[in-house]
Amino acid sequence: MKIIQVQTQAEAGGAQRISDMVGEGLRARGHEVRTVFMYRKTEVYDRDPHADFILTKPPRGLLGQIRAAIGLAGYLRNARPDAVVTFQHYGNIFGTIGARLASVDLIIANQSGAPQTRGVRGILTQIDKLMGTFGAYHANVVNSSWTEAQFDSFPKAYRRRMSRIDHGVPTPSVDVDKAAARAAFGLPQDPWLAVSSGRMAPSKNQIALVGALVHLPDIHVAIAGTGPEQDAIVAFAEANGVTDRLHLVGEVPPSRIFEFLAAGDAYAFSSLTETFGLAAVEAAISGLPVVASKLDVLREVLTTDEGEAAALFVDADAKGMAEGLAELMARPELAARLAAAGWQLKEQYSPARMCAGYEALLLSRSLPHGCNPVDHLQSA
């Protein structure tokens, strides 16, 4: 099967990590898969042999967005895929429109956020509701039971197209020495170090981690990522006199994320909203004890099938994060217990299981009526 994945922007984010794993897994199963980004934002995908870009720079204004949408439609028309899998709000909308214009037989959308009622996100939610209800795309993937529940008030026709496929999370391929990891990223060798990763945006709330430094004078924090909140984070650190204990390492490509995580004594995740929390689960699977904001979805995904918590859940503010990190420092046995539970999540969120779910969905939607997709999965 020839499959095109549509992403909005090319950067090292959670949605992009998922499409990377889906693409790799489906190619291993014999499918032809490429990922097209509506625009290039950073250099992380420049050398990816399976990636294409519609625009080489972020679009400016409405005209730029129209150029990206028209370019995407032309790309899909020329590629003539059997199926299109879309990610993120704009990727879902423009990918679906482009796929329809290109007469693609099968379109699968992914929900990367809970429904919203205000602002641009509220408008996008209403567009998505209409598209899903009237069958603009054929299937709609959610990644957790919490996310699925957020659509309970949507029309039955919308919910009928929903399928749950939990995210896959990779495991470290090799053990990385902590001292070597710290040296590789220019981090200090001796202090107790909390690490974090993710796009620097208000919803990720990394500024709370900087605030935690004010309460904990003996720890350092290292953050991997870039984004619009970076200047505010730096300014806040300067204003509070903690710049020497805050280390911003920039964007870390997926191939090096476990090397970065190996530098930490703990992982801190202060996000205000998630539909899964890939970065936090990734850190837990790497063997780090996690301090995370007490979102319902994080409680769900950071709990093993046996009911063991793989994170310490706290209020998503400076005081809450500081208290959580201080507790891990003071109680090594708690840190060890959380790390052990996190390691157990690797089977729960196997990338192979995720890819099998996508392939089953693709085949069940594309095979003639009466065919059993399981038979085709076993022969793939």
Q: Which domains does the chain have, with CATH numbers?
A: 2-168+350-379 (3.40.50.2000), 178-348 (3.40.50.2000)
- Identify the band that residue 113 occupies on the pLDDT scale cut at 50, 70 and 90: confident
* Bridge partner list, 164: 142
pLDDT at 369 over 50: no
Share of the chain above pLDDT 90, in %: 92
The torsion of the CA quartet 286, 205, 112, 127, rounded to 10 degrees, works out to 180
- The CA-atom distances, in angstroms, between 254 and each of 224, 285, 325 are 11, 15, 26
Q: DSSP letters along 265-315, please?
A: SEEEE--S--SS-HHHHHHHHTT--EEEE--HHHHHHTB-TTS-BSEEEE-
- Identify the band that residue 173 occupies on the pLDDT scale cut at 50, 70 and 90: confident
pLDDT at 370 over 80: no
Closest CA to 111 of 223, 14, 31: 14
Closest CA to 144 of 114, 171, 116: 114
Position 365 scores a pLDDT of: 73
pLDDT at 182 over 80: yes
pLDDT at 79 over 70: yes
d(CA 376, CA 363): 8
pLDDT at 368 over 90: no
Question: In 10 A of CB 207, how many CB atoms?
Answer: 19
What is the C-alpha R_g of the chain? 21
Instruction: Determine the number of helices (DSSP H) and then strands (DSSP E) in the chain.
Output: 16, 13
pLDDT in tens, 26-53: 999 999 999 999 999 999 999 999 999 9
Share of the chain above pLDDT 70, in %: 96
Position 377 scores a pLDDT of: 40
